[in-house]
Amino acid sequence: MNQKIKYIILCLIILISLCGCFNKKTEVSKPEIKQSNERNTQVLQLEILVSTINILENKNINSSVIGTVYKGEIYTILDQNKLDNYLWFEIETNTDIHGFIFTKAENIKILEIEEPEPEPEPEPEPEPKPQKIIDANKEYYCPEGFIKNTSLNKCTRTIERADLVQGICPENFTLTGQVCKIGEDKKSVKANGPFGGCTEGGELKKDVNNKPYCTHGSYYENYTCNAGYKEIVDKFNVHWCVWENSSETINAEFTCSDSSYTYVSSKKTCQKEETRNFSIKYTCPSGYDLKDNKCYEQ
């Protein structure tokens, strides 16, 4: 009987010793290097409530001790199991010690995952102000050298070509300047002479003053003109030869060698009107942008 009691007492001592290995509250200073994990509300963690708990290399109570956790430290739970009234937790310190702690539930505090606070709903954006759209201003303009012709709704310009003017004369007439001419004009000349003579067969002589006289009969003088001329005497008693066949002139008809031109007699030139369509430029007032011939408010 005594042997049995001794055996029971020995087992109790061993069991008490084993419990003291993990939960013995001895004064142990914390390491200077922080090994606790940071609090993370998005993962499951635990907080140490007792002075120390040993970190075992494996999930076995007989495993080697590879470190120690201290009161107030927090660790992320990588894995957990329950064995009778004890709990196994797999952890890793910030100093890269990866192992297991074996303890009772009252020695630790489970830090539950906290739902993140919902982000505040963004304030609704103000409804965009309706964009004002107006018709763009139309500006009609003409190329350089052209003018606006509102009656034709076109751009016009007048082209003048004096080199295209051509005169037309009847047959046998010759164009001379602005007229048609037939025949020719010759200047009047003084008549040939005088040639003196005597009537009644008298002999023509000259006196000491070289004046002609007749031995008998009367003295006379003759003037002659070349063919085509006739003799006239002016008021000074001068004999002239005047051309008998004076020329004839008539007004010429004028036209343009290019049928697309029209002869303008007042300017004696050929003209034609050249037309082009208006060019259109669209513009917007200040504060508007032009797009597709419309003005959009900025």
Q: Give the 3-state secondary structure of the chain.
A: CHHHHHHHHHHHHHHHHHHHHHHCCCCCCCCCCCCCCCCCCCCCEEEECCCEEEEECCCCCCCCEEEEEECCCEEECCEEEEECCEEEEEEECCCCCEEEEEEEHHHEEEECCCCCCCCCCCCCCCCCCCCCEEECEEEEECCCCCEEECCCCEEEEEEEEHHHEEEECCCCCEEECCEEEECCCCCCEECEEEEEEEHHHCCEEECCCCCEEECCCCEEEEEECCCCEEEEECCCCCEEEEECCCCEEEECEEEECCCCCEEECCCCEEEEEEEECCEEEEECCCCEEEECCEEEEC
Q: Tell me which amino acid residue 50 is.
A: V
d(CA 258, CA 163): 10
Contact partners, residue 183, CB within 8 Å, separation at least 6:
245, 246, 247, 248
Name the stretches of the chain with pLDDT < 50.
1, 19-27
User: In residues, how long is the chain?
Assistant: 298
Q: Supply the pLDDT for residue 243.
A: 77
25 neighbors 104 (Cβ within 8 angstroms): no
Q: Supply the pLDDT for residue 133.
A: 92
For residue range 277-290, what is the model confidence (pLDDT) as tens digits? Answer: 988 899 999 999 99
Q: Supply the pLDDT for residue 21.
A: 43
> In degrees rounded to 5, what are phi and psi of residue 289?
-110, 140
For residue range 158-214, what is the model confidence (pLDDT) as tens digits? Answer: 999 999 999 999 888 888 888 888 777 678 888 888 888 898 888 888 888 888 889
Q: Supply the pLDDT for residue 57.
A: 95
Structure tokens, 38: 């940071």
Q: Supply the pLDDT for residue 20.
A: 45
Integer angstrom CA distances of residue 217 from 23, 82, 212: 196, 191, 13
Q: Give residue 165's region: left, alpha or beta (phi > 0; psi -120 to 50).
A: beta
Q: Supply the pLDDT for residue 22.
A: 44
49 neighbors 106 (Cβ within 8 angstroms): yes
Q: Supply the pLDDT for residue 26.
A: 42
Q: Supply the pLDDT for residue 249.
A: 83
pTM of the model: 0.34
Q: Tell me which amino acid residue 77 is.
A: I
77 neighbors 90 (Cβ within 8 angstroms): yes
Q: Supply the pLDDT for residue 160.
A: 94
d(CA 16, CA 63): 18
Mean per-residue pLDDT over the chain, rounded: 85
Angle at 104 between CA 100 and CA 110, to 5 degrees: 75
Q: Supply the pLDDT for residue 9.
A: 65
Contact partners, residue 165, CB within 8 Å, separation at least 6:
254, 255, 256, 257, 263, 268, 269, 270
